[in-house]
Amino acid sequence: MSGPDYAWWHGIYEVAKSFYMEFIPELKKVAGEQMANELMEKYVYTQPGHLWLKEGMTKEQLQKIEEFYRSRYGEQSGDKK
Protein backbone atom coordinates (compact mmCIF):
# COMPACT_ATOMS: atom_id res chain seq x y z
CA MET A 1 0.00 0.00 0.00
CA SER A 2 2.94 2.36 0.09
CA GLY A 3 3.68 2.13 -3.64
CA PRO A 4 3.85 5.44 -5.53
CA ASP A 5 0.78 4.68 -7.62
CA TYR A 6 -1.27 3.78 -4.55
CA ALA A 7 -0.08 6.84 -2.67
CA TRP A 8 -1.02 9.05 -5.64
CA TRP A 9 -4.40 7.64 -6.60
CA HIS A 10 -5.55 6.97 -3.07
CA GLY A 11 -3.81 9.96 -1.58
CA ILE A 12 -3.30 13.29 -3.28
CA TYR A 13 -5.75 12.60 -6.11
CA GLU A 14 -8.61 11.99 -3.68
CA VAL A 15 -7.62 15.03 -1.63
CA ALA A 16 -7.60 17.24 -4.74
CA LYS A 17 -10.85 15.74 -6.02
CA SER A 18 -12.57 16.38 -2.70
CA PHE A 19 -11.16 19.91 -2.44
CA TYR A 20 -12.05 21.09 -5.95
CA MET A 21 -15.21 19.08 -6.60
CA GLU A 22 -16.83 18.98 -3.16
CA PHE A 23 -15.33 21.49 -0.72
CA ILE A 24 -15.28 24.58 -2.96
CA PRO A 25 -18.85 24.10 -4.27
CA GLU A 26 -20.03 23.51 -0.69
CA LEU A 27 -18.19 26.66 0.45
CA LYS A 28 -20.01 28.69 -2.22
CA LYS A 29 -23.33 27.16 -1.20
CA VAL A 30 -22.88 27.76 2.53
CA ALA A 31 -20.98 31.06 2.58
CA GLY A 32 -22.46 32.59 -0.55
CA GLU A 33 -20.62 33.51 -3.72
CA GLN A 34 -19.16 36.81 -2.47
CA MET A 35 -17.85 35.48 0.86
CA ALA A 36 -16.56 32.33 -0.83
CA ASN A 37 -14.64 34.45 -3.34
CA GLU A 38 -13.14 36.52 -0.52
CA LEU A 39 -12.08 33.39 1.35
CA MET A 40 -10.66 31.85 -1.83
CA GLU A 41 -8.64 35.02 -2.50
CA LYS A 42 -7.28 35.10 1.04
CA TYR A 43 -6.57 31.42 1.66
CA VAL A 44 -6.48 29.53 -1.63
CA TYR A 45 -5.22 31.77 -4.42
CA THR A 46 -2.28 32.91 -2.29
CA GLN A 47 -0.90 29.41 -2.89
CA PRO A 48 0.71 29.14 -6.37
CA GLY A 49 -0.53 25.58 -6.87
CA HIS A 50 -4.14 26.78 -6.92
CA LEU A 51 -3.79 29.71 -9.33
CA TRP A 52 -4.79 27.61 -12.33
CA LEU A 53 -8.29 27.45 -10.87
CA LYS A 54 -8.60 31.23 -10.92
CA GLU A 55 -6.57 32.14 -13.99
CA GLY A 56 -6.76 29.01 -16.10
CA MET A 57 -3.73 27.66 -17.93
CA THR A 58 -1.92 29.08 -20.92
CA LYS A 59 -1.49 27.13 -24.13
CA GLU A 60 2.21 26.84 -23.27
CA GLN A 61 1.46 25.31 -19.86
CA LEU A 62 -0.99 22.83 -21.39
CA GLN A 63 1.49 21.95 -24.13
CA LYS A 64 4.21 21.32 -21.53
CA ILE A 65 1.93 18.96 -19.63
CA GLU A 66 0.96 17.14 -22.83
CA GLU A 67 4.62 16.78 -23.86
CA PHE A 68 5.50 15.38 -20.45
CA TYR A 69 2.81 12.70 -20.65
CA ARG A 70 3.64 11.83 -24.26
CA SER A 71 7.31 11.37 -23.37
CA ARG A 72 6.43 9.32 -20.31
CA TYR A 73 3.65 7.15 -21.70
CA GLY A 74 4.09 7.34 -25.46
CA GLU A 75 1.86 8.42 -28.27
CA GLN A 76 -0.93 6.01 -27.37
CA SER A 77 -1.80 7.98 -24.23
CA GLY A 78 -5.12 9.50 -25.11
CA ASP A 79 -4.61 9.67 -28.87
CA LYS A 80 -7.57 8.62 -30.96
CA LYS A 81 -6.91 8.92 -34.67
- Give the number of C-alpha atoms closer than 13 A to the C-alpha of residue 52, restricted to the C-beta side: 7
Percent of the chain with pLDDT over 90: 59
Lowest mean pLDDT among 7-11, 26-30, 56-60, 66-70: 7-11
pLDDT of residue 81: 47
Q: Alpha helix (H) ranges present in the chain?
A: 4-7, 13-18, 24-31, 33-39, 51-55, 59-73
Angle at 52 between CA 15 and CA 12, to 5 degrees: 15
Q: Is the pLDDT of residue 35 over 80?
A: yes
pTM score > 0.75 for this model?
no
Name the pLDDT band for 39 (thresholds 50, 70, 90).
very high
More confident residue, 60 or 81: 60
Please name the residues in contact with 69: beta carbons below 8 A apart, sequence gap of 6 or more: 77, 78
